[in-house]
Amino acid sequence: EPEVTQTPSHQVTQMGQEVILRCVPISNHLYFYWYRQILGQKVEFLVSFYNNEISEKSEIFDDQFSVERPDGSNFTLKIRSTKLEDSAMYFCASSAGGDEQFFGPGTRLTVL
């Protein structure tokens, strides 16, 4: 069964450093998303991406964040200058038609 994959599973970084989180969505899906979940809190939407552009973003997704689909398979989330409060699980998701969204296993980001 096709699934979303994410790398790395755990990323530790120093405050102020840049990180890139990588995702490979399900191959025939057209809609891609990033969500995050701070420990003990709700899953929160960050951004959606369709047809090679951002289609929607939340207030969390400020200028420090960017997304890219550098080739036909990868979908990345970059955080330019990490803050302590960016520590969270980051989930990539994909959808064929924009409704049912399937999540990857997540990347645990720890900012020290």
Interface residues toward another protein, by CB under 8 A = 31, 33, 35, 42-45, 48, 50, 55-56, 58, 89, 91, 98-106
Q: Are 67 and 92 in contact (CB under 8 A)?
A: no
Q: Which of residues 75 and 91 has its CB atom nearest to another protein in the complex?
A: 91
Compute and round to an integer the Cα radius of gyration of the chain. 13
Residue 85's φ and ψ, nearest 5 degrees, are -75, -5
| Min dist. Cβ of residue 16 to another protein (A) | 27
Q: Which of residues 45 and 66 has its CB atom nearest to another protein in the complex?
A: 45
Q: Which of residues 69 and 105 has its CB atom nearest to another protein in the complex?
A: 105
| Min dist. Cβ of residue 54 to another protein (A) | 10
Distances (CA, A) of 110 to 14, 54, 66, 85, 98: 8, 26, 18, 9, 30
